[in-house]
Amino acid sequence: MSHSTSSVPIERGWDEPWYRVRMEDFQVSFLPSDGEDLDEVCNVDVVVTLRDGSRWTATVFTVVEVERLMKLWAGTDAALGGRYFWVSDGLIVRDPDIDAMTGVIAGLIENGESSEIFQQVIDS
């Protein structure tokens, strides 16, 4: 069962070092590199806070960024010389940009797949 997730941000802006986007059913906090252009973000840690207060984490990569990293690792000991790419809470998206990534996250929440992709933060 899915529920409707508005695709229009209610609020967005900096809460250093986080860039936060608040939507109707969730908030996503992005941790871009210092000075990184938000339209070109291609590798970023995120924390998603759902309406029920639960928090979920992931690292979002673009396809191009994964390819760049694998080429960078070629000829090194990293990831068997760049022959594979793996992260436990990784989400690979087609397009860079905070808005594009927020749209993917909204879709995952709406269709119920977010809990399969993101890792839940369990406070101790």
Q: What is the pLDDT of residues 54-70, one digit of tens each?
A: 999 999 999 999 999 99
Domain ranges of the chain: 11-120
pLDDT of 122 strictly over 60: yes
Nearest to 64 by CA among 33, 41, 34: 41
For 77, residues 6+ apart whose C-beta sits below 8 A from its C-beta are none
pTM: 0.90
Q: Quick: pLDDT tens for 77-119.
A: 999 999 999 998 999 999 999 999 999 999 999 999 999 999 9
The gap from C-alpha 68 to its chain's centroid, in whole angstroms, comes to 18
CB atoms within 10 A of CB 22: 15
Distance (Å) of CA 29 to CA 1, 32, 92, 114:
26, 10, 17, 15
Determine the Cα–Cα distance for residues 49 and 26; give it in Å rounded to an integer.
6
